[in-house]
Amino acid sequence: MCGIVGYIGRRDATPVLLEGLRSLEYRGYDSAGLAVVYRNKLHVTKTAGRVQDLRDRLSDNTNGKTNGKTNGKTNGKTNAKATVGIGHTRWATHGEPNETNAHPHTDTAGRIAVVHNGIIENAEQLRDQLADQGVKLASDTDTEALAHLIAAEAGEGVTLEEAVRRALRHVEGTYGLVVLDILHQNELVVARNGSPLVLGIGDGEMFVASDVAALVRHTKQVVYLGDGEVATVRAADYRTVSRPTTVDAEAGDYELGAFADFMRKEIHEQPEALRRALRGRLDDRFSTARLGGINLDPRQLRSIRQVKFLGCGSAYYAGQMGAVLVEELARIPAGAEPASEFRYRNPVVDPDTLYVAVSQSGETLDTLMAVQELRRKGGQVIGAVNVVGSAIGRECGTGVFLHAGPEIAVASTKALTNMAASFAMLALLLGRVRDMSAAAGQRIVSGLRALPHQIELMLAGEDEIAEIARRFAAAEHMFFIGRVRGWPVAREGAQKLKEVSYVHAEAYQASELKHGPLALINATMPSVVLVPADELLAKNISTIEQIKARGGPVIAVTSADLPADLADATIRIPRAEPELEPLLLNVPLQLLAYHIAAKLGRDIDKPRNLAKSVTVE
Ligand code: G6P
Q: Is residue 149's pLDDT more than 90?
A: yes
How far does the centroid of ligand 1 lie from the alpha carbon of residue 94, in Å? 20
Q: Which residues have a Cβ under 8 Å from the Cβ of 64 and sit 6 or more positions away? A: 74, 75, 76, 77
Q: What is the DSSP string of 266-284?
A: HHHTHHHHHHHHHTTTEET
Dist. CA 235 → ligand 1 center (Å)? 35
- Average pLDDT over the chain, rounded to an integer: 93
Question: With contact defined as beta carbons under 8 Å apart, do 172 and 122 qualify?
Answer: yes
Q: What is the mean pLDDT of residues 432-454?
A: 98
Give the model's pLDDT for residue 196. Answer: 87
DSSP-derived secondary structure for 341-356: HHHHT-PPPPTTEEEE
Residues 125 and 122: their CA atoms lie apart, in Å, by 5
How far is CA 157 from its chain centroid?
A: 42
Assign residue 313 a region: left if phi > 0, alpha if psi is -120 to 50, beta otherwise? Answer: left
Nearest to 430 by CA among 311, 337, 299, 315: 299
Nearest CA to ligand 1 atom 3: 313
pLDDT of residue 64: 56
Expressed in angstroms, the distance from the first to the final Cα of the chain is 11
Burial 573-594 (b: 16+ CB within 10 A, else e): bebbbbbbbbbbbbbbbbbbbb
Cis peptide before 104 (omega within 30 of 0): yes
Per-residue confidence (pLDDT) for residue 74, from 0 to 100: 40
Q: Which atom of ligand 1 is nearest to the CA of 313?
A: 10
- pLDDT tens for each residue of 22-34: 988 877 778 999 9
Q: How many CA atoms lie within 13 A of 546 on its CB side?
A: 20
Burial of residue 551 (CB within 10 Å: 0-12, 13-18, 19+) is: exposed
Beta strands in 339-429 (DSSP E): 353-359, 380-385, 399-401
Distance (Å, rounded) from C-alpha 420 to C-alpha 581?
11
Assess whether 612 carries a catalytic annotation.
Answer: yes
pLDDT at 444: 98
Which of 385, 614, 617 best tests ligand 1's pocket when mutated (most atoms within 8 Å of CB)?
Answer: 614
Residue 66: predicted pLDDT: 45
Which neighbouring-strand residues pair with 357? 310, 383
Cα separation, 516 vs 281, whole angstroms: 44
CA distances to 239, 240, 242, 370, 461 from 176, in Å: 17, 15, 15, 20, 44
Between 8-17, 90-99, 294-303, 403-412, the lowest mean confidence (pLDDT) is in 90-99
pLDDT reading at 492 higher than 70: yes
For the whole model, what pTM was predicted? Answer: 0.87
Output the CA torsion 233→88→601→586 (10° steps).
50
Hey, whose CA ends up nearest to atom 5 of ligand 1? 313
The continuous run of DSSP H or E covering 593 comes out as helix 581-599
pLDDT at 63: 67
CA–CA–CA angle 81, 175, 50 (5° rounding): 50
Identify the pLDDT of residue 97: 83
Q: Helix (H, G, I), strand (E, B), or coil: what is residue 611?
A: coil
| Burial per residue of 169-190, b for 16 or more beta-carbon CB atoms within 10 angstroms, e otherwise | ebbebbbbbbbbbbebbebbbb
In whole angstroms, what is the distance from residue 94 CA to residue 557 CA? 43
Reported as a pLDDT band with limits 50, 70 and 90, residue 374 is very high
Which residues form ligand 1's pocket by a CB distance below 6 Å?
311-315, 359-361, 364, 367, 410-412, 610, 612-614
Q: Residue 65 catalytic?
A: no
263 alpha carbon to ligand 1 midpoint, in Å? 14
Residues paired with 283 in a beta bridge? 288
pLDDT digits (tens, 9 = 90+) for 503-546: 999 999 999 998 999 999 999 999 999 999 999 999 999 999 99
- 419 CB neighbour count, 10 Å cutoff: 32
Residue 76: pLDDT over 50: no
| Whether 471 contacts 569, CB under 8 Å | yes
DSSP 135: P
Q: Which is nearest to 582 in space by CA: 494, 485, 507? A: 485
pLDDT of residue 72: 45
Quick check: 413 and 270 in contact, CB under 8 A? yes
Chain centroid offset of residue 198 CA: 17
Q: Percent of the chain at pLDDT above 90?
A: 83
Residue of 315, 361, 365 whose CA lies nearest to 337: 315
By mean pLDDT, which of 78-92, 466-480, 491-505 is the weakest?
Answer: 78-92
Contact 286, 432 (CB under 8 A): yes
C-alpha angle with apex 427: 592 to 412, nearest 5 degrees?
A: 30
Q: What is the pLDDT of residue 1?
A: 66
Q: What is the pLDDT of residues 80-113, one digit of tens each?
A: 689 999 999 988 766 788 899 999 999 999 999 9
pLDDT for residue 573: 97
Residue whose CA is at the smallest distance from ligand 1 atom 4: 313
Share of the chain above pLDDT 70, in %: 96
Over residues 568-587, mean pLDDT: 97
Instruction: List the beta bridge partners of residue 337.
Output: 310
16 CB contacts (<8 Å, ≥6 apart)?
5, 7, 85, 207, 218
pLDDT at 609 over 70: yes
Q: Judge whether residue 7 has pLDDT over 70.
A: yes
Query: What value does the mean pLDDT take over residues 588-601?
Result: 98
Average pLDDT over residues 121-140: 95
pLDDT exceeds 60 at position 443: yes
Q: Which pLDDT belongs to residue 564? A: 84
d(CA 64, CA 137): 29
What pLDDT was estimated at residue 458?
Answer: 98
Each residue of 385-434: pLDDT tens digit?
A: 999 878 899 899 999 999 999 999 999 999 999 999 999 999 999 999 99
- Helix (H) / strand (E) containing 141: none
pLDDT at site 357: 98
Evaluate whether 362 touches 393 at the Cβ level (below 8 Å): yes
Q: 522-532 pLDDT, tens per residue?
A: 999 999 999 99
- 110 CA distance to ligand 1 centroid (A)? 37
Q: Which atom of ligand 1 is nearest to the CA of 311?
A: 15
Query: Given ligand 1 and candidates 360, 414, 500, which is best to mutate, with the most ligand atoms within 8 Å of its CB?
Result: 360
Distance 313 CA to ligand 1 centre (A): 5
Statement: residue 205 has pLDDT above 60: yes
